[in-house]
């Protein structure tokens, strides 16, 4: 049969191309030039080009015929993905996470389960129905509910459509109305069905996680939630310039981190603080300690690199026309007696906005230290953002009157990627200002900012996750603290 032949061909060519991608990674000629982020590029080609190939054929062939080929195809994709990132094997829950869309905390490697094949089949029937009717007079619709399979007045196609819709409704998906077909209704129905299928995958993932020991389950739930949202954009970035490039080792480390695999295997923390004192604490293998260990400065590395990225994007050579940024500005409105509480950066002359000071914080969503982060996404990022705002008041707490002519925004991130709402909003505003000033498409510009900022955070994560020595804060406390002379923490030190 033609369908079988075509599908065999698709699987065979996918296998060949997948092998080629893996070969690219082992090729010494290519390795000579390290600048082109091979892991990052190969993963993108795999997801956007190769993994999409089956869909083209699957749309018009009975899902039951496609299913066995689809599962072989998915196997090839998964195997290749793991080879590229150099992971030996994954637990079932990690495989499910890998298949989820980026915004739901996954890695976007879609799978072609039978329900997905049915969704594609039904939506493409809806799509072509009006054209087929116009050209042939034949109405594309599922066989009626009462029709028996041996009733020859309906075609094989109509029965396939009927059974696909019936099976999808068992998955909780509303049956489409074939009285209203065409591109718009097809798209609307398909995306609704797709969301429902993702929800089912998410539920399956939660059920898988329930089988883990209690604490592991909490860690994993917090991790998947923290991986979602805007901050997952780094996985969709093409390495087109130094801002969006993630070096091969870094890319492998941060994908392992995303999937909850080990990233470092010494048992004792290797960090030494600025005074030369080793941390010496017990160190887990998933990065929980390393990413929050104060002695190594890992605590600050992500923080400093995102601040620098915002400054470069807003006020660098190619930034928002006219905008200026200052690193560690002195803000008399918020005098501090403790270290680290002054604003990190200030943005001035932003078109259409007040001057804005920002303070950044990158936190690890650890359910042991932060209650609730294993059940609600962004718990830690939002809490830290509120805390930062409380430390940098712009409005009077009692009468809500503005105290200062400038604004404050918290740049609050979770290490796995989640951004606080306020941070997303501020980033959007800056990106929009640049797009408006330069006549660019705002949506594309906003995406570019999300991508660049999330890449900078993940590059910083990777270094810390591998236990590499990170610069501790060598800088002395600001001189104004000395000049006050009655600063208690310093006097006693």
Q: What long-range pairs does 468-472 form, CB within 8 A, spacing at least 24?
A: 469/270, 469/271, 469/272, 469/296, 470/271, 470/296, 470/297, 470/298, 470/301, 471/297, 471/301, 472/271, 472/272, 472/273, 472/274, 472/295, 472/296, 472/297
> Quick one: which segment of 97-105, 192-200, 277-285, 324-332 binds Zn ion (CB under 5 A)?
277-285
State yes or no: residue 66 binds Zn ion (CB under 5 A).
no
Residues 6+ apart with CB under 8 A from 6: 57, 61
Residue span binding Zn ion (CB under 5 A) among the ranges 107-115, 126-134, 194-202, 276-284: 276-284
Only one residue has tokens 């959007």, namely 428
3-state secondary structure (DSSP) of residue 335: coil
**What is the chain's percent helix, strand, coil content, to nearest 5?**
55, 5, 40
Build a one-symbol-per-residue string for 341-380: x at contacts with Zn ion by CB under 5 A, - elsewhere.
----------------------------------------
Among 126, 293, 314, 420, binds Zn ion (CB under 5 A): 293
Only segment of 42-50, 154-162, 291-299, 350-358 that touches Zn ion (CB under 5 A): 291-299
Pick between residue 280 and residue 340 the one whose CB is nearest to Zn ion: 280
Q: What is the Cα–Cα distance from 25 to 36, expressed in whole angstroms?
A: 11
Query: Is residue 279 a contact residue for Zn ion (CB under 5 A)?
Result: yes
Question: Candidates 85-93, 121-129, 271-279, 367-375 — which segment interacts with Zn ion by CB under 5 A?
Answer: 271-279
Q: Give every CB contact of residue 289 below 8 A, 6+ residues apart in sequence.
A: 269, 281, 282, 283
* Torsion sign (Cα): 425, 426, 429, 432: negative
Q: State the number of binding residues for Zn ion (CB under 5 A).
A: 5
CB of 376 to Zn ion, least distance (A): 28
For residue 271, the minimal CB distance to Zn ion (Å) is: 4
E strand or H helix at 318, and its extent?
none
Cβ distance to Zn ion smaller for residue 365 or 472: 472
In sequence order, the β-bridge partners of residue 409 are: 358
Residue closer to Zn ion (CB basis): 47 or 271: 271
Give the Cβ contact number of residue 492 at 10 Å.
6
Minimum CB–partner distance for residue 291 and Zn ion (Å): 10
Residue 191 contacts by C-beta under 8 Å, 6 or more apart in sequence?
A: none
Alpha helices by DSSP H, listed for 319-441, are 379-391, 421-438
CB of 290 to Zn ion, least distance (A): 7
- Distance, C-alpha 234 to centroid of its chain: 6
**Smallest distance from the beta carbon of 465 to Zn ion, in angstroms?**
13
Paired residues of 327 in beta bridges = 345
- Give dist(CA 222, CA 364) in Å, integer: 10
Could you tell me the smallest distance in angstroms from the CB atom of residue 302 to Zn ion? 15
Least separation, in Å, of the C-beta of 295 and Zn ion?
Answer: 5
Q: Which stretch binds Zn ion (CB under 5 A): 273-281, 316-324, 337-345, 374-382?
A: 273-281
- Count Cβ atoms below 10 Å from residue 393 Cβ, excluding itself: 13
- Which is nearer to Zn ion, 143 or 293 (by Cβ)? 293
Binding residue (CB under 5 A) for Zn ion from 112, 119, 162, 271: 271
Q: Which residues contact 409 (CB under 8 A, 6 or more apart)?
A: 356, 357, 358, 422, 423, 426
Closest approach, Cβ 272 to Zn ion, in A, equals 9
119 or 271: CB nearest Zn ion: 271
Query: What is the smallest separation between the CB atom of 258 and Zn ion, expressed in angstroms?
Result: 22
CA 384 – CA 292 distance, rounded (Å): 14
CB of 223 to Zn ion, least distance (A): 20
- Letters for 228-267 (x = contact with Zn ion by CB under 5 A, - = none) are ----------------------------------------
Q: Which is nearer to Zn ion, 284 or 407 (CB)?
A: 284
CB of 281 to Zn ion, least distance (A): 5
Measured torsion, CA atoms of residues 212, 215, 216, 219, in degrees rounded to the nearest 10: 130
Q: Looking at the chain, how many residues does it have?
A: 493
Piece of the chain touching Zn ion by CB under 5 A; list 285-293, 378-386, 396-404, 438-446: 285-293
Name the nearest CA neighbour of 232 among 413, 25, 37. Answer: 413
Give whichever of 296 and 319 is closer to Zn ion, judged by the CB atom: 296
Q: Which is nearer to Zn ion, 144 or 294 (CB)?
A: 294
Q: Is 269 in the site for Zn ion (CB under 5 A)?
A: yes
Beta carbon nearer to Zn ion, 14 or 291:
291
* Binding positions for Zn ion, 4-33, rule CB under 5 A: none
- Closer residue to Zn ion (CB): 225 or 269: 269
Residues at the contact surface with Zn ion, assessed by CB under 5 A = 269, 271, 279, 281, 293
């Amino acid at each position: 049969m033609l369908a079988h032949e075509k599908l065999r061909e698709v699987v065979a060519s996918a296998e060949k191309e997948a092998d080629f991608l893996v070969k690219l990674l082992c090729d010494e000629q290519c390795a000579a030039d390290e600048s082109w982020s091979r892991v990052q590029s190969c993963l993108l080609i795999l997801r956007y080009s190769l993994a999409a190939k089956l869909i083209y054929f699957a749309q018009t062939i009975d899902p039951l015929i496609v299913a066995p080929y689809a599962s072989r195809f998915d196997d090839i994709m998964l195997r290749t993905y793991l080879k590229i990132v150099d992971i030996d094997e994954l637990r079932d829950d990690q495989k499910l996470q890998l298949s989820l869309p980026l915004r739901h905390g996954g890695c976007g490697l879609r799978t072609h389960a039978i329900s997905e094949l049915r969704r594609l089949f039904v939506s493409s029937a809806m799509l072509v129905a009006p054209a087929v009717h116009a050209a042939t007079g034949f109405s594309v619709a599922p066989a009626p509910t009462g029709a028996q399979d041996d009733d020859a007045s309906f075609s094989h196609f109509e029965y396939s459509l009927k059974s696909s819709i019936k099976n999808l409704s068992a998955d909780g998906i509303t049956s489409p109305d074939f009285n209203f077909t065409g591109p718009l209704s097809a798209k609307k129905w398909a995306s609704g069905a797709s969301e429902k299928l993702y929800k089912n995958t998410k539920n399956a993932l939660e059920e898988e996680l329930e089988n883990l020991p209690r604490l592991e389950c909490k860690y994993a739930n917090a991790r998947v939630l923290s991986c979602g949202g805007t901050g997952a954009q780094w996985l969709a970035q093409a390495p087109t310039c130094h801002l969006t490039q993630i070096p091969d080792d870094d890319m492998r480390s941060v994908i392992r981190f995303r999937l909850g695999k080990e990233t470092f295997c010494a048992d004792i923390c290797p960090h030494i603080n600025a005074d030369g004192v080793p941390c010496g604490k017990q160190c887990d293998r998933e990065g929980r300690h390393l990413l929050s260990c104060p002695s190594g400065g890992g605590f600050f590395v992500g923080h400093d690199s995102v601040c620098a990225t915002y400054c470069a994007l807003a006020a660098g050579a190619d930034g928002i026309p006219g905008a200026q940024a200052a690193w560690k500005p002195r803000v008399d409105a918020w005098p501090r007696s403790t270290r680290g509480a002054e604003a990190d950066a200030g943005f001035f002359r932003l078109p259409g906005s007040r001057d804005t000071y920002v303070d950044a914080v990158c936190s690890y969503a650890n359910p042991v230290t932060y209650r609730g982060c294993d059940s609600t996404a962004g718990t830690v990022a939002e809490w830290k953002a509120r805390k930062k705002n409380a430390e940098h008041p712009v409005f009077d707490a009692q009468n809500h009157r503005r105290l200062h002519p400038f604004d404050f925004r918290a740049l609050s991130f979770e290490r796995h990627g989640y951004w606080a709402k306020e941070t997303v909003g501020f980033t959007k505003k800056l990106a929009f200002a640049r797009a408006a000033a330069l006549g660019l498409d705002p949506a594309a510009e906003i995406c570019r900012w999300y991508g660049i900022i999330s890449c900078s955070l993940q590059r910083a994560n990777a270094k810390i996750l591998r236990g590499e020595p990170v610069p501790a804060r060598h800088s002395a406390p600001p001189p104004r603290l000395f000049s006050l002379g009655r600063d208690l923490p310093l006097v006693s030190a």
